[in-house]
Amino acid sequence: MSEAPLPGAPVTVVVVDDHAVFRSGLKADLDERVRVVGEAGTVEEAVTAIAALRPRVVLLDVHLPGGLGGGGREVLTRSTALLGEVRFLALSVSDAAEDVVSTIRAGARGYVTKTASGREITDAVLRVAEGDAVFSPRLAGFVLDAFGTASVADDELGKLSARELDVMRLIARGYTYRETAKELFISVKTVETHVSAVLRKLQLANRHELSRWAADRRIL
């Protein structure tokens, strides 16, 4: 790879996970072929650390708290300027298709579930650093499927705006319009507008179908 820094030098890594214990585990289990140069437990810390340290690879927990849904993706969207220089490898307990696809779409170069060993994660980091895309074996199949048929199957979600996603998540959980409005500091009428847009874009009839739709995709 022409982008590789000094051959033989360890790959620099920043670890992002809200669980301090898991970060410690990574630092203990990643072997000497990589070097952990920083860590972060929140979205803010992560964005700051990545911009300052410019690691070769970021090991990113998809389920960071903070963003209304999937704070890990927020780190990605706020680091787009660095996407050419820094590679992101997503770490997640979930292997739900929706999570994987949307994370890749946000710019991650690989996706590994947390059941992997330190050795396996090290291997994945190195391959991502070299430009490969890496997926846990049992994810590889449907990731390819997803991107073969993604234009139809999945882009329903991509058509929702950020605010519509906020509203959709709360409504799908059973919040009333009034509760949703209070939670998001907007008027009930605005919630109605967003819900109508969501139902129209997703081609659903009512909030019950929305709940099931979201549950099927594990968006709750």
Partner DNA sequence: CGACCCATGGGGGGACACCCTGAACGGACC
Partner DNA sequence: GGTCCGTTCAGGGTGTCCCCCCATGGGTCG
Determine the Cα–Cα distance for residues 80 and 99; give it in Å rounded to an integer: 19
121 binds, among its own copies, DNA, none (CB under 5 to 8 A by kind): its own copies
Q: Provide, rounded to whole angstroms, the least separation between the CB of residue 23 and its own copies.
A: 7
Type of residue numbered 18: D
Helix/strand/coil (H, E, C) string of 174-210? CCCHHHHHHHHCCCHHHHHHHHHHHHHHHCCCCHHHH
Which of these segments, 38-46, 57-65, 80-88, 193-201, binds DNA (CB under 7 A)?
193-201
187 binds, among DNA, its own copies, none (CB under 5 to 8 A by kind): DNA
User: Per-residue x/- mask for DNA, residues 115 to 154, rule CB under 7 A?
Assistant: ----------------------------------------
Which of these segments, 18-26, 80-88, 127-135, 146-154, binds its own copies (CB under 8 A)?
18-26
63 binds, among its own copies, DNA, none (CB under 5 to 8 A by kind): its own copies
Work out whether 66 is an interface residue with its own copies (CB under 8 A): no
Complete DSSP assignment for the chain: -TT--STTSPEEEEEE-S-HHHHHHHHHHS-TTEEEEEEESSHHHHHHHHHHH--SEEEEETT-SSSSS-HHHHHHHTTGGGTTTSEEEEEES---HHHHHHHHHHT-SEEEETTS-HHHHHHHHHHHHTT--EE-HHHHHHHHHHHHHHHHHTHHHHTS-HHHHHHHHHHHTT--HHHHHHHHTS-HHHHHHHHHHHHHHHT--SHHHHHHHHHHTT--
Work out whether 74 is an interface residue with DNA (CB under 7 A): no
99 binds, among DNA, its own copies, none (CB under 5 to 8 A by kind): none
Q: Provide, rounded to whole angstroms, the least separation between the CB of residue 28 and DNA.
A: 42
Identify which of residues 144 and 215 has a Cβ nearer to its own copies in the complex. 215
116 binds, among DNA, its own copies, none (CB under 5 to 8 A by kind): its own copies
Q: How many CB atoms lie within 10 A of CB 175?
A: 18
Among 48, 148, 176, 182, binds DNA (CB under 7 A): 176
Work out whether 162 is an interface residue with DNA (CB under 7 A): yes
Q: Provide, rounded to whole angstroms, the least separation between the CB of residue 183 and DNA.
A: 12
Contacting residues toward its own copies, per CB under 8 A: 18-29, 63, 93, 114-118, 121, 174, 206, 208-209, 211-212, 215
